[in-house]
Amino acid sequence: MSQVNGAGIRAARIVLILLGVAGLAWGVWVMVDTVRLERLPGVALWIGAAIIVHDAVIVAAVFFAGVLLRRAARRLPGTIAVVVQGTMVLGAIVTLIVVPAMIAQGLGPKNPTVLPLDYGLNLAVFWAVIVVVATVISAVLYARSRRANQRPSSRQS
């Protein structure tokens, strides 16, 4: 088995950092070019709030759910914790995308055809669907794990 040398990893990191900086610079350019100057403080506030919500709420909730599930995982396969955490992340991302539309709809858009859907109901249905899907996947994983643990080992006589 060949080992990856340190120079190759360092080069990959540099390329990824440069791509990230280029992406950020392009995003700033597009924002400054397309957003009116008086709207920039609102954009900055939104970005700051998104960072706080991500770091203080979403990451903390997913982390603590993982800790609790891993403590319970003495009888559960670890893949169930991954399914639950993935579901939480997916739900949180979609919620972060939908909530601004719900707020804008609540404020009353100038044109009612811009936000025509019932975003609160749609978000609730989305959460219900992903919880059901995660529950079914977890049940299947649990059943497979129990069957695998009940099979006699080929080493036993």
Residues 56-70 have pLDDT tens digits of 888 888 888 878 877
Residues listed for the chain: 157
Cβ contacts of 98 within 8 Å, gap of 6 or more: 119, 122, 123, 126
Of residues 125, 136, 126, 119, the one with CA closest to residue 84:
136
- What's this model's pTM, rounded to 2 decimal places? 0.64
**Cα 136 from chain centre:** 20
- 16-39 pLDDT, tens digit per residue, is 999 999 999 999 899 889 988 898
- 48-107 pLDDT, tens digit per residue, is 988 898 888 888 888 888 788 777 766 777 788 889 889 998 998 899 889 888 988 888
End-to-end CA separation in angstroms for the chain: 36
- Residue located via tokens 């009888």: 75
